Structure 1
Amino acid sequence: MQHEPAARLIQALKRTGRRRIPLDQLRKEFAAACPELAEQADRRSRLAQLLQSAAASGEIVLPLGKRSWDRTGGMPLPGFVVLAGPTPPRIPAVAPGYSWHPLLGFAASERNRLRLEAARCINEWLKSDPDLSLNVPIKERSLEIFGDEKRLDRLRAGSDHLFGRLSLLSLGCRICPIPLPFEAGPAAALGKPILIVENNDTWVSFSMWNRSAARLSAVAYAGGGHAKSLAYDETFIDELIGRLQAQALYYFGDIDPAGLRIASRAAQRRAWRLALPLQPAPSLYTWLLEHGTRTPLEGNERVADEDLAWLPPDIRSSVTALFASKQRVPQEALGTRVLMSAHVSDWT
């Protein structure tokens, strides 16, 4: 086969200004550059041969995957080709002999280019002698260092350290948990327990009751099991405990498998972190079992043993019997009317 038609085709492809050229355009350029071949009955084979010749000479790169080839008739044709070009010299992320700040000395042995580039940005910022006396939110610091408010959050990968070595504290910043909606109790309730309530309406009733009862340092809203629920917000609980000097943390929700799961899994996560335990509010759950309105338990969800074990021992058998009868008790039964009229001795 003559090489001259292949050269003409390559020149035509280069004039497109594209590096990746799809098969439809390959056919058009082939027809324009090599009409004497494109008008032949075996034009598909002719094009395939030209492309193979160009690939062999290093002018183009053919796709490797089988799915990238058109095999609908005769000789296979690539779904696209990539024009080969000179590979530009790769500029090192960090020049030889680059000076690292003491906090980032470990980065000298880093080989991952993306991590190294991120470390260099942080290093240049540290070398500017920034004021680290004020601990700021992580997104504010990230914007200051990278011009991207989310970059530090991505680099930390769920940890409070970057690259597993550099603490956020050393950069004068902190992770800010998503706030959990809450209403603080009166000043007289400072230091008393915090109650987290599963559903919005019950949260409103307890907050209103607590304004005069002053039995709780705060009433917080867990999110009702929605996507933005307790598991998403719970790290804010620790801040709330510190602010209000609370010595105990209670939870009150629906008596159904979903309600128990939300609470018990949050309690488990807090136990793993050795945080203040999340306990069931025993008197509230007992009142709900004894006086609450029972409604049908829909669906086939069953309560897990570990979720049931989170409840006080003296009501577990009653809850098991409740679920066996395909019933549940929504917490809204213990609402404003009950709270305002009943003699409340100890809700927790």
Structure 2
Amino acid sequence: MSVEGPAAPVPADNVLDWLDVEAEKRAQAGLVRRLRPRAAAATELDLAGNDYLGLARDKRVAGAAAAAALKWGAGSTGSRLVTGSTELHAELEQELARFCGTQAALVFSSGFTANLGAVTTLSGRESAIVTDASIHASLIEGCRLSRADIAAVAHNDPSAVAHALRTRRHKRALVVTDSVFSVDGDKADLTALNNACRETGAAMLVDDAHGLGVLGDGGKGAVHEAGLNAAPDVVTTVTLSKALGAQGGAVLGPRRVIRHLTETARSFIFDTALAPASAAAALTALRVLVEEPQRAERAREITATMAERFAAAGLPTSTPEAAVLAVRAPFPDDAVAWAARCAERGVRVGCFRPPSVPDGISRLRLTANAGLTDAEVEQAIQVVTETAPAAS
């Protein structure tokens, strides 16, 4: 039997030719993505970003970031365990925990790294993870890195979660879910999920990125709204880049969980700390929310108004429960063209297409901003409605 030798060397210029093949496949499927830098001065109504409370440009928040940069420097200079942890980080953690009603908090450089750290350190090879099929990409990556036995069950189905927990092979288990799902804006039934966890001896990790600042008493989040903020078996992750208009992420929960993450989470230990300017901005935004809790109600009100008007216009719309609303498009190309027409008329909206959406249905994704006036909300509704594809 002949033995084949090593493959012939490929010229350096051709080693990455496969990238062009993949790019052509995406183009044929209508899945090309391009960066669109925006100017500093807003020229469109922004219903695409996640600045739910209108705080990203608030002078108090931006001013705090500028002052912190001048005081502490442009960067944090190292990881939190070396030189990167400042008084601002500690103050932010204390006030986040106090606001959300948890024992402790730990600030990460982003919501993505917070989720990676939480999932991987609360699971492992000898544990099971049960997830909702529609969790955020950062949670999915955390699950993959965890090396746990993973079961992804039907979206928003606590009974499926309970079944997976009862039939798991490993004693230790973790249920992972978003509180508000980022595509359609629907809420998880956190009470039912926690009941399933307690019946089977599992812990629960909730990504409250889209709940913090919008849901619960004064915007304290979906976990607080469900009465689970102080639960010994529930851990919450949040982002500081949505309702708080800044940058970064955090994990909140029992002190022993925070201690465990501080000592073992690779995305915390080996990552450069959140910049002081971002920590100061998030801290100031949190204080503004405490003083102005009506911002949370305003964000929910805007989303509900848009949903009602789109439904009346015959557009297939999700049922919003926080500050995210989805309007379906027939095909990926329709969604792209629809979003472009909205932009031409001065309204920027999000455009979600496969593979970003797990169900394969393309959508416009609209987000509320508590800083919008009634006239601006009306303008956005008219533009989205009048530019909709005929077959939608």
Higher helix share: 1
TM-score by length of 2: 0.21
Larger Rg: 1
TM-score by length of 1: 0.23
